[in-house]
Amino acid sequence: MLLQISEPGQSAKPHERKLAIGIDLGTSNSVVATVRSGEPVVLADEQDNSICPSLVHYTAEGGVVVGQAASEKLLSDPANTINSIKRLMGRGVEDSASLGQSLPYTFTEKEGSGVPYISTVAGEFSPIEISSEILKHLAALGERSLSSGSASELDGAVITVPAYFDEAQRQATKDAATLAGLKVLRLLNEPTAAAVAYGLDKQAEGLIAVYDLGGGTFDVSILRLSKGVFEVLSTGGDSALGGDDFDQAIVDWVLNESAHAKTLEPVEQRALLLKARDAKEQLAGSHSTTIEFNNQLFELNRETLAEVLQPLISRSIKSCRRALRDADISAEDVDNVVLVGGSTRTLAVREAVANLFGQEPLSDLDPDRVVALGAAIQADILVGNKPDSDMLLLDVIPLSLGIETMGGLVEQIISRNTAIPVAKAQEFTTFKDGQTAMAVHVLQGERDLVSACRSLARFELRGIPPMVAGAAKIRVVFQVDADGLLMVSAEELTSGVKTSVDIKPSYGLADDDISRMLQDSFSHAKDDMKARALREQQVEAERVLEALVPALEADGDLLSEQERQTIVQAMEALLQTRQSAESPRDIEAAIEVVAQCTDDFAARRMDRSIKSALAGQNLDDIDS
Amino acid sequence: MSLTMTASAIEHVQRHLDSRGKGVGIRVGVQTTGCSGLSYVLEFVDDVNPEDNTFDQGGFSLVVDPKSLAYLDGTELDFVKEGLNEGFQFNNPNAKNACGCGESFHV
């Protein structure tokens, strides 16, 4: 029985000590950490490796090898050694087709799943299954390191995800953890975990920028600390930018220098990538190094490396500027800048960051371990080992959530950068008389048109009692929990008919990654506005026509034949304009024409309905 | 009546105190819970109570309340590694038997 030191008065009763770990599930490397005697520590395996390559190797016998042991198979058996699986988490089949060009795997699609499967000698596996092998490996390491006497099973884990992960990617990560038998205490944004690891919560207040350039993803977050509470003001980044791209850029440079024309075999490609990575890592400590390729030596120095990486680094700096703008602050307002991710060891990156913020970034903690350490601290609190802790983490929604309304427009219900957990409701109504069902289409994105946003789920609210258009009250509630996972419910208030859905994302994301979706929303703002105005007028025209047809049927006898002709002609003109017009004003004008020639008709109908309502009633009754 | 610590235990406690940034030492003790009568307490100390016994360990104090001292007299506090696991262990000559899980003991 081995004991850890507790805070005063907080010694756990026997059998009540909770075992919790924090996992940084990275694109190229993963790390597991825990809190021992009040201090976060990274856990190492029997060979003293604390950084586990995010590699899964499948053998012909159906065996699975994870981590360091799998890295030996990278060169000898690349097709059965899965690398950077995080890039495919929550992605659809089309994405893997385009992302897959640089990956040496064979993709297959299982009927109806929409999820890409990777073919290996041991069978076909989804990204979730492959990712769960890494989590199992890390959880086993955690159990071997922590188990004592009674407690040998982990009580829970905090797993970090890029702040940019959308609902589908977060859900996929959670599914992988469940498959690995882990209880997920919370999914935590990586930059938030890094700020916790640096103990920035011990300051009174301040603005913190976290620059996280990992193997496969880039995140920047602007955090505000006040009274010991972190609030994420904004997040930004690029879900397809990282050290892997640095390595690829160096490979491209070598190929260019050597004028090597033919495409590389997967084995050659891997070998050159590893050399490129070595060279990059050496340049963090020395001024120049050489890469051997095709029996030629290529000299790479820091200046050349900076040039080669410049386009990639400036992409990250642009994301930083956008995040600052979203947070409505300028670079000088930032009090601390934290560096996370192994790629921040590259000198050119540090210089670019220091240059942008006008200060030296914090880098005392190992940038590869800092996220796991923060996750461990959070796990320790959430599992209840530190009951007095008042540290609350507020995260934000990276992209707005909304539903489709008439005309293919998106109505935002929860807007981007809203702190979670959050619940918001909005009331909608029916469009047609006697409508008994309503389709709810849940979307994520910043654009005005459904086609430009990501579809998350569709469901139907059925059993709405037949009423005239606009009379039903349908309340749609969006609820996002602390992990950023979404539940949507719809209820018809007069009848109480209700239905809800947990977002099981449709994995239908085309190649548009989130950062591009965001950028598009800025660059297409004007187009979107025009398109929205046009759609709105089209819907309005439809509504007018929908109302007129039954009115003519019911009360057509109030009109002379000529009046009737005029109205019908105006309606036909409107129908025509609605379909062909490119300007919302044209439709508006046509609606106006219809309105003018139906004014009289409307007045006569009103008279008739009042008369029929009053018929046979005493004046006294009406007064009362 | 006395308590001792091994060099390894002293080193680890000192390191934890340094990284914690505050505290005058560690408290050892027993509490009357557990499946076999008593269990150990190991905590950081910010305030020493008037009735406490303190044993100087160089950079910090080993603190124990008088009631616990009776159960712990002669105990050596050690820091050990077992496989990947590591932590503090009480080598208590008074303990007669422990429960299966090892979290509590009899005297």
Query: Is residue A247 located within the same domain as residue A359?
Result: yes
Query: Is residue A159 located within the same domain as residue A235?
Result: no
Where does the pLDDT of residue B12 fall: very low under 50, low under 70, confident under 90, or very high at 90 and above?
A: very high
Query: Is residue A297 located within the same domain as residue A356?
Result: yes
Indicate whether A326 belongs to any domain.
yes
Looking at residue A512, what is its pLDDT?
42
Which two tokens mark A182? 């882990």
Q: What is the mean pLDDT of chain A?
A: 83
With CB atoms and an 8 Å threshold, state whether B102 touches A148. yes
Query: Is residue A312 located within the same domain as residue A429?
Result: no
Indicate whether B106 belongs to any domain.
no
Query: Is residue A77 located within the same domain as residue A187?
Result: yes
Does residue A203 sit at the B interface (CB-CB below 8 Å)? Answer: no
Which CATH number does the domain housing residue A318 bear?
A: 3.30.420.40
Instruction: Report which of residues B102 and A61 the model is more confident about.
Output: A61
- Reported as a single tens digit per residue, the pLDDT across A132-141 is 999 999 999 9
Nearest Cα residue to A199 out of B19, B41, B87: B19
Query: Is residue A24 located within the same domain as residue A143?
Result: yes
Indicate whether A167 belongs to any domain.
yes
Where does the pLDDT of residue A507 fall: very low under 50, low under 70, confident under 90, or very high at 90 and above?
A: very low
Query: Is residue A513 located within the same domain as residue A574?
Result: no
Where does the pLDDT of residue B10 fall: very low under 50, low under 70, confident under 90, or very high at 90 and above?
A: very high
Highest mean pLDDT among A388-402, A408-422, B45-59: B45-59
Indicate whether A392 belongs to any domain.
no
Indicate whether B59 belongs to any domain.
yes
Of the candidates A475, A492, A523, which is a domain's last residue?
A523
Highest mean pLDDT among A368-377, A414-423, A549-558, B98-107: A368-377
Task: Quote the number of domains for chain B.
Answer: 1
Indicate whether B84 belongs to any domain.
yes
Query: Is residue A184 located within the same domain as residue A93?
Result: yes
Which CATH number does the domain housing residue A575 bear?
A: 1.20.1270.10
Q: Residue A576 is part of which domain span?
A: 533-614
Indicate whether B15 belongs to any domain.
yes
Q: ipTM of this model?
A: 0.81
Indicate whether B74 belongs to any domain.
yes
Percentage of the residues of chain A whose pLDDT score is greater than 70: 85
Task: Quote the number of domains for chain A.
Answer: 4
* Minimal C-alpha gap between A2 and chain B (Å): 5
Instruction: Report which of residues A384 and A101 the model is more confident about.
Output: A384
* Minimal C-alpha gap between A48 and chain B (Å): 9
- Reported as a single tens digit per residue, the pLDDT across A211-269 is 999 877 788 989 887 765 667 788 888 877 888 899 999 999 998 888 776 677 877 88
Of the candidates A387, A418, A444, which is a domain's last residue?
A387
Q: What is the mean pLDDT of residues B18-42?
A: 79
Q: Which residue type does A88 have?
A: L
Instruction: Report which of residues A503 and A368 the model is more confident about.
Output: A368
Nearest Cα residue to A177 out of A50, A25, A315: A25
Which CATH number does the domain housing residue B61 bear?
A: 2.60.300.12
Q: Residue B8 is part of which domain span?
A: 4-101
Decide: A372 and A24 in contact? Cβ < 8 Å.
yes
Indicate whether A622 belongs to any domain.
no
Does residue A145 sit at the B interface (CB-CB below 8 Å)? Answer: yes
Helical pair A561-580 and A525-555, crossing angle rounded to 10 deg:
160
Indicate whether B56 belongs to any domain.
yes
Instruction: Report which of residues B93 and A104 the model is more confident about.
Output: B93
Q: What is the mean pLDDT of residues B34-62?
A: 83
Lowest mean pLDDT among A191-195, A228-232, B5-9, B84-88: A228-232
DSSP B98: B
Cβ-based contacts of B41 with chain A (< 8 Å): 6, 11
Query: Is residue A132 located within the same domain as residue A253?
Result: no
Indicate whether A620 belongs to any domain.
no
Query: Is residue A519 located within the same domain as residue A558?
Result: no
Indicate whether B107 belongs to any domain.
no
Burial class (CB in 10 A: 0-12, 13-18, 19+), A57: buried
Distances (CA, A) of A56 to A42, A65, A72, A137, A248: 21, 6, 11, 10, 21
Query: Is residue A236 located within the same domain as residue A95?
Result: no
With CB atoms and an 8 Å threshold, state whether A9 touches B43. yes
Lowest mean pLDDT among A356-370, A492-506, A533-547: A492-506
* Minimal C-alpha gap between B36 and chain A (Å): 10
Which two tokens mark A386? 């530190």
